[in-house]
Amino acid sequence: MRSKIAWRLLLGCFLVLGFSAAGAQTPTPELLRKIQAVAWLSKDSVELGEPVRLTLVARYPESLNMLFPDSTYNFSPFEYDSRSYSATRTDNGISTDSVVYKLSTFELQDTLRLQLPVFCLEGKDSIYFYANPVEAVLKQNIDRLPQNPQAKQDVFFLRVHRAFNTPYFLVGAGIVLVVLIVVLLVFGKRIWRSFRIWRLRKKHGKFEERFGSFRSQFPSDSFPAEQAVYAWKHYLEGLQGTPFTKLTSKEIGQYYRGEAIVDALKTFDRYLYGGFGEEHIPNAMEQMEDFASRCFDEKIQELKQQDLKLKENA
C-alpha cells in the first residue's frame, strides 16, 4: 500500500513539473538579457565556525521560471547551514525573488570567495546566470608561526597533580571486598576465635598486672582490700559471664563449694568487716589469683577445642 502511494506522489511531481515547463514561455535572447542576479554578505570578515548570511536576489521577466541553489549545491569554501525565502514581488512584468543563506566556514584561507548562480529553465535544460562574486576575510585569532621557530628553554618545572583513577580504585576495592568475603566465609569462625583468645590473653595480662599491684601494697595502711576483691570479681565476670560483682561471698560459695576460693573470700570478709585475719590475706590473694588463672586456662582450652572440632568437620 505504501509503495503505491509513493509511486503516485512521484508521478504527481513529474506531472506538475511537466505542466509548469509547458506553460512557461520559451526564453528569448531579449528576455534573457533582462535577468539580473545580485549577491552580498552580511559581514566582510568572519571567524572559523561563525555564521554569516549571504543574500541572493534575482530580477527576471515574470514569464520565466527561475530556480535558486538549494542545500545540495557546493557552497565551498563555505558550508551550508540553512536558508529562508522571501515572497515573490512582481512590478511591471518584472519579478523579484530573494533567498538568504546561512553559511559558515572552517577553511583556513585568508580570503573566502563565492559566486552563486540562478537557473533559468529552458525545456529540459537550464541556463546559468551568475551573480557578482562575494568575498570575506578570515579573522586570524592565532598568530602565524615563523618559518623556523626556535624553542625557548624553561628551567622552571610545572607540578602536575596526578589524577585519581576512580575506575581502577573501584575494581581494586571490589576485588579486595570479594577476597575478604571469601576469607570470612571459609576462615571466619577460626579468625573470630583467634581474636577472642588474643583479647582474653590481653585482659588476663592487665588483670595480673593490676592484682599484683594490690598485693605489693599489703600490709600497708593504704592496702585497698575492697578494690582488690572488686577487681577480681569484675575480671571473672567478664571471663565467665557470671555476675560476680553482684554476688556476695556466700552466694559465690554456693557455686564453688569445696573450692579454696571460698575460704579466700571469707578471709577478705573477716578482714574488711571484722578487722581480723590480716595474716591470711597474702595466702587468700594468691588463691584468688590462682583461681582466676585456672578459669582463664579453661576458657582458652574451650576455644581451642572448638577450633579442633571445626577442623575435623572440615
pLDDT per residue over 185-214, tens digit each? 877 777 888 888 899 999 999 999 998 888
Distance CA 65, CA 56 (A): 16
Determine the Cα angle at 79 with ends 107 and 54, to 5°: 105
Residue 276 has pLDDT above 90, yes or no: no
DSSP category for residue 34: T
> Is residue 79 helix, strand or coil?
strand
Element spanning 127, H or E: strand 125-130
Q: Average pLDDT, stretch 274-289?
A: 88
The alpha-carbon radius of gyration of the chain (Å, integer) is 53
Q: How far is CA 116 from the centre of its chain?
A: 51
DSSP category for residue 251: H
Residue 50's CATH number: 2.60.40
Q: Which residue has the higher pLDDT, 144 or 62?
A: 62
Cell of 86: 522571501
Residue 5 has pLDDT above 60, yes or no: no
Give the pLDDT band of residue 50 (cuts 50, 70, 90): very high
Closest CA to 295 of 247, 248, 256: 256
User: Looking at the domain assignment, is residue 99 inside a domain?
Assistant: yes
End residue of a domain, out of 114, 138, 162: 138
Place of cell 561563525: 50
Whether residues 52 and 133 share a domain: the answer is yes
End residue of a domain, out of 88, 103, 138: 138
Distance CA 201, CA 208 (A): 11
User: Looking at the domain assignment, is residue 202 inside a domain?
Assistant: yes
User: Looking at the domain assignment, is residue 313 inside a domain?
Assistant: no
Q: Which residue has the higher pLDDT, 275 or 207?
A: 207
CB atoms within 10 A of CB 286: 13
User: Looking at the domain assignment, is residue 305 inside a domain?
Assistant: no
In terms of DSSP bridges, do strands 45-46 and 134-138 run parallel, antiparallel, or are they unpaired? Answer: parallel
User: Looking at the domain assignment, is residue 183 inside a domain?
Assistant: no
User: Looking at the domain assignment, is residue 291 inside a domain?
Assistant: yes
Give the pLDDT band of residue 296 (cuts 50, 70, 90): very high
Write down the pLDDT at residue 119: 93
Whether residues 28 and 119 share a domain: the answer is yes
CA atoms within 13 A on the CB side of 212: 7
End residue of a domain, out of 138, 160, 188: 138
Distance CA 196, CA 190 (A): 10
Cell of 133: 562574486
Q: Which residues contact 142 (CB under 8 A, 6 or more apart)?
A: none
pTM: 0.43
Give the model confidence (pLDDT) of 135-154 as tens digits. 999 987 766 666 777 777 77
Give the model confidence (pLDDT) of 97-114 as tens digits. 999 999 999 998 889 999
Distance CA 126, CA 69 (A): 13
Number of domains in the chain: 2
Q: Which residues contact 83 (CB under 8 A, 6 or more apart)?
A: 70, 71, 99, 100, 101, 102
Q: Say what percent of the chain tops pLDDT 70.
A: 87
User: Looking at the domain assignment, is residue 6 inside a domain?
Assistant: no
User: Looking at the domain assignment, is residue 172 inside a domain?
Assistant: no
Crossing angle of helices 281-313 and 260-269, in 10° steps, is: 140
Q: Which residues contact 273 (CB under 8 A, 6 or more apart)?
A: none
Task: Determine the structural domain holding residue 106 and report its residue range.
Answer: 22-138
- What's the whole-number average pLDDT of the chain? 83
